[in-house]
């Protein structure tokens, strides 16, 4: 359940931003997108109705030796400022995903990072991981010469659930999580296990979620109709006993090997990820995901 816990940590720390209203609409107002483009609602990534924010996602990196180099002085550069910048960058990247626009390191530095450019590596890595874990969106570098990035759904999946202007949050993250659970359970998983795992990240059947809507509707109907999941009654069991398997579309669009590589990446020790991007400044960083 490490993957779902880290996804919860990504979202959980956002409650404080929503309460403060510090970056309300900031990124969409600054981002140079076309006038007709619709951006995500302000600080949506930070508004999950979860318990008190969990700072583990950031504190893990602060404990590591490489992060101590990237963050020179905790007193002069508080952890909550790093969190603020991560949340702003996630919202900026969601804008780019929705409008299908590329972004560059220079644009991120000038628009979001600004006066804390020495901390680009940590902020960019945190935001990229949140995009991957929460929304199922990869931040991929397409041109190393100018460090330009494209945002695409992870694992080669083509579904993101954004069917109308109202549905502005990609839902691929929960699909990937369920496919992962099925994979790790040997190809078939009881429905009860799925809901137990999702509860770790604050997702419950019958309770509206700010990204996924009503989760039971999404998981047992929409994703089944889309062909990504099979949802069947367990043979020789009670009427309320169901199980999930990969659907034909999941098998067609991705593979268990791709998923294994994805899991190895997101479950990697955070300190090892920091070492990859230890350059810390601009142009010395990869997404680390």
What's the pLDDT tens digit per position in 55-88?
Answer: 433 333 344 334 334 444 434 556 788 889 999 9
In this structure, the strands spanning 103-104 and 229-233 are: unpaired
Q: How much is the pLDDT for 272?
A: 55
Q: Which residue has the higher pLDDT, 145 or 78?
A: 145
Both structure tokens of 225:
């109709």
Order of strands across the sheet that contains 229-233: 189-190, 242-246, 229-233
Cα separation, 233 vs 241, whole angstroms = 6
Range of the domain at 31: 2-158
Q: Same structural domain for residues 153 and 177?
A: no
Q: Sorting pLDDT into bands at 50, 70 and 90, what band is 7? A: low
* Count of domains forming the chain: 2
Instruction: Give pTM, 2 decimals.
Output: 0.70
Q: Average pLDDT, whole number, for the chain? A: 74
Q: Same structural domain for residues 39 and 114?
A: yes
Kindly state whether residue 115 falls inside one of the protein's structural domains. Answer: yes
Q: Same structural domain for residues 238 and 134?
A: no
Q: Same structural domain for residues 44 and 93?
A: yes
């Amino acid at each position: 359940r490490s993957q779902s816990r880290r996804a919860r940590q990504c979202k959980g720390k956002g409650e404080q931003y929503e309460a403060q209203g510090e970056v309300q609409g900031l990124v969409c107002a600054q981002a140079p997108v076309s006038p007709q483009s619709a951006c995500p609602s302000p600080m949506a990534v930070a508004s999950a109705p979860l318990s008190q924010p969990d700072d583990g996602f950031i504190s893990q990196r602060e404990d590591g030796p490489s992060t101590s180099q990237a963050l020179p002085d905790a007193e002069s550069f508080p952890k909550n400022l790093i969190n603020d910048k991560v949340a702003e960058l996630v919202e900026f990247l969601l804008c780019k995903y929705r409008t299908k626009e590329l972004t560059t390191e220079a644009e991120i530095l000038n628009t979001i990072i600004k006066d804390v450019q020495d901390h680009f590596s940590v902020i960019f890595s945190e935001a990229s991981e949140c995009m991957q874990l929460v929304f199922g969106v990869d931040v991929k570098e397409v041109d190393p010469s100018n460090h330009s990035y494209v945002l695409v759904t992870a694992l080669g999946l083509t579904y993101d659930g954004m069917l109308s202007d109202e549905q502005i949050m990609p839902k691929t993250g929960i699909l990937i999580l369920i496919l992962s659970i099925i994979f790790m359970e040997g190809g078939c998983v009881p429905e009860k296990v799925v809901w137990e795992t999702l509860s770790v990240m604050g997702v419950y059947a019958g309770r509206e979620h700010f990204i996924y809507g009503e989760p039971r509707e999404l998981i047992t109907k929409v994703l089944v109709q889309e062909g990504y999941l099979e949802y069947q009654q367990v043979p020789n069991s009670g009427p309320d006993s169901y199980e999930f398997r990969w659907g034909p579309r999941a098998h067609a669009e991705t593979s268990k090997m791709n998923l294994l590589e994805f899991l190895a990446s997101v479950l990697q020790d955070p300190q090892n990820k920091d070492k990859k991007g230890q350059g810390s400044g601009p142009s010395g960083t990869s997404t680390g995901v």
